[in-house]
Amino acid sequence: MQALGRHILVEYFDCRNELLNDVPYIEQSMVAAARKADATVINSTFHHFSPFGVSGVVVIQESHLAIHTWPEYGYAAVDLFTCGDTVDPWIAYNELKRLLEAGSGSSIEMLRGQLGLIPGTRQEMEAHREDHAVQLGKPANGYSPGEQATSLAPKYSRNVWFTERSENTAHSFRHTGKQLYREQSPFQLVEVYDTYAWGKTLTLDRMVMTTEKDEFIYHEMIAHVGLFSHPNPKRVLVIGGGDGGAVREILRHEGLEKVVMVEIDEKVIEASKLHLPAISSAFDHPKLELIVGDGIAYVEESMDDAFDLVLVDSTDPVGPGEGLFTERFYRHVHRILRPGGIQITQSESPHYAPALFREIYACYRQVFGNEHVHCYLAHIPTYPSGMWSFSWAMKGEGHPFNGLDRNRIDAFCRQHGLKYYNADIHQGAFCLPTFTREMVENDPKVEATAAASELTAS
Ligand code: SPD
C-alpha cells in the first residue's frame, strides 16, 4: 500500500433506532466489527448523550474505529481507520451494517499519509521502529496478527459503564462489558450486568433493582421488620419481588404457614434464576406459591382478612410498578389484611423523589389512619442517593417496635447469619432525620404532576 493508512468515512441510514441509543450494544458491535476484521482491540470508551445518542471509539493496534449515532434519525456516522495490510476495514463495514440493522450505507475511502505526498522518513525514528519490531519478533514494517502472542503485546482493557439516569443526576457502575441477560419483556427491559464493584446486577428499564453485594440490606429490611413486629404471622403475600430475595428472607420464619408471591414479569424470575442463584434460592420452597400474574388484580380479587402481612416489593413507580402506587391498590391491601395485619412497602428515597415520597405517605395515612403509619430507613449504596425508605402500616392498633422480643431476634439473626438486620437496627431504623419526619407527617403541598414527573427515566 502506498500510504500509511486507509480511512473509510461511513454513513449508515435507516438503522434500528433503539439500537443506536443503547451504549453497551453499540460498544459490543464496534468491538465485534473490529475483531471480525482481524484487528487487535486495545481499549474502548463509549458515552451516552441524554436523551439520545452514543459516541465512542475503539482503539485498535492498527488505529481506530469511531462512531456517533443519532437514534432519532436512525443514522450513524462511522470512521474506520486502519494502518498496515493485516486488517480489511471493509469487513468491519459490513459487520457493522449488519449489527446496526442498517437499511443502507454509503462510504468514501481516503488514503491517509500517501507516501508520494509526505517528505522522507526521519532515519533515527525509522531505526527505532525497526529495533522495537525485532524485540516483538515481527516484521519491521508490519502490524503482525501474531503480535498478541508476545509478552510485550498490549493488554485489552475495557471501560464500559451502566448508568442509571434521572432527569438531573446519574449513578454509574463499571462492568465487564459482557451482558449476561437482556430481554425486552412485555413489561420492561430486563438486564443483568456483571459489575466490578457490586457483582451481578439486575436492572429493569435501566434502573438498578438488586446487586449481589448489597441485596442483603434491602431484602433483610423489607422482610424481617414486618415479620418481627407481628405477634404471630401465618400468611404472607408478596407483590413483586421477582428476583426472589424477599421470599428467601421471609421463608426463614418457620412459623409461617404460607407465602404467596405474585410477580408480573416471568423474565425477571428467569434472569434471577439464571444469574442470581443466591438471591433466587427459595423459589422451590414448599410453603411458597409463586404466581406469575398481575399483583393488582390478585389483591383486588383476594378475600377480606386473608393475610397477616402484605409486602410490596415493587419497582420504582414508572412502568409496571406504577399501579402499585395508587390509593385504590392500598385500600384493597388494607381490606385483605387481617386485623392487626401489617403492610410493608418499599417507599423510595426522600432525597430522590421528595414530592412522590410525600404523596405515598399521605396516601398510606388516608388508608390506614395517621397513627398507624411509620417510615423506616436503610442505607442501600446502589440505589439513588443511598438513603432508602420502607413504610410500615398496621390495620388497627399496634407499634413497629414496642414490645419487640430482642432475644428472639438476636437468636434468629445469628442462626441465619443476617448481615444488616438486628434488634437495634429494627428500632433505630425508625429514627428519622427531621426533614424526612416532616415529609412523612405533613400533607403534601405539591401538585400530583410534580410527583409523577420526578421519576420519569430519561
Ligand atoms: N430504585 C430501586 C427500587 C428498587 C425496589 N425494588 C427492588 C427489588 C428488589 N427485590
Neighbours of 125 (CB within 10 A): 9
| Residue 227 and residue 357 in one domain | yes
SS3 content of the chain, % helix, strand, coil (to 5): 35, 30, 35
**Residue of 283, 314, 391 with the most ligand 1 atoms within 8 Å of its CB, for mutation:** 314
Q: Is the domain of 278 the same as that of 396? A: yes
pLDDT at 122: 61
The last residue of a domain, from among 85, 102, 117: 117
- Is residue 80 domain-resident? yes
139 within some domain:
no
Residue 200 within a domain: no
Question: What atom in ligand 1 is closest to the CA of residue 242?
Answer: 10
Backbone angles phi, psi at 172, to 5 degrees: -115, 150
Mean pLDDT value of segment 37-46: 89
Per-residue pLDDT, 3: 84
Q: Is it true that the peptide bond before 51 is cis, omega within 30 degrees of 0?
A: yes
| Separation CA 299–CA 57 (nearest Å) | 50
For the chain, the domain total comes to 2
**SS3 assignment, position 406:** helix
88 vs 82: CA distance, rounded Å: 8
In a domain, 130, yes or no: no
**CATH value at residue 44:** 3.60.90.10
Q: Looking at the whole model, is its pTM more than 0.85?
A: no
Q: By percentage, how much of the chain surpasses pLDDT 90?
A: 72
Domain containing 8 equals 3-117
| Contact indicator for 311, 278 with CB cutoff of 8 Å | no
107 and 222 part of one domain: no
Average predicted confidence (pLDDT) for the chain: 88
Domain stop point among 117, 138, 155: 117
Q: Which residue has the higher pLDDT, 134 or 265?
A: 265
Closest by alpha carbon to 346, among 168, 248, 215, 458?
A: 215
Tell me the per-residue pLDDT of 261-271, one tens digit each, with 9 for 90 and over: 999 999 999 99
pLDDT at residue number 162: 87
Q: Say if residue 246 is in the same domain as residue 111.
A: no
State in Å: Cα 383 to ligand 1 middle: 8
168, part of any domain? no
List all residues whose CB is within 6 A of at least one atom of ligand 1: 207, 209-210, 218, 241, 243, 245-246, 313, 315-316, 346, 383
Same domain as 431, residue 312:
yes
In a domain, 49, yes or no: yes
- pLDDT tens digits, one per residue of 386-401: 999 999 999 999 999 9
Q: DSSP states of 17-50 as a string? A: GGGGG-HHHHHHHHHHHHHHTT--EEEEEEEEPS
Separation of CA 192 and ligand 1 centre (Å): 14
Banded pLDDT at 320 (limits 50, 70, 90): low
Centroid of ligand 1 to alpha carbon of 390 (angstroms): 11
> Where a domain ends, among 92, 117, 142?
117
User: In CATH, what number is assigned to the domain containing residue 330?
Assistant: 3.40.50.150
pLDDT at 117: 80
239 in the same domain as 99:
no
The whole-number pLDDT of residue 333 equals 98
Does residue 109 lie in a domain region?
Answer: yes
Do 217 and 107 lie in one domain? The reply is no
* Distance of alpha carbon 107 from alpha carbon 7, whole angstroms: 10
Q: Are 324 and 295 in contact, with CB atoms under 8 Å apart?
A: yes
* Probe target for ligand 1 pocket from 262, 269, 315, with the most ligand atoms within 8 Å of CB: 315
**Cα(201)–Cα(383) distance, integer angstroms:** 12
Evaluate whether 387 touches 351 at the Cβ level (below 8 Å): yes
Atom of ligand 1 nearest to the CA of 207: 1
Which residues belong to the active site?
313
Q: In this predicted model, what pLDDT tens digit does every residue of 359-377 receive, in sequence order?
A: 999 999 999 999 999 999 9
Please check whether residues 217 and 103 belong to one and the same domain: no
Amino acid at 8: I
What integer pLDDT is reported at residue 137 of this predicted model?
Answer: 47
pLDDT at 152: 40
Distance 226 CA to ligand 1 centre (A): 17
For residue range 428-441, what is the model confidence (pLDDT) as tens digits? 999 999 999 999 99
Q: Flag whether 66 is in a domain.
A: yes
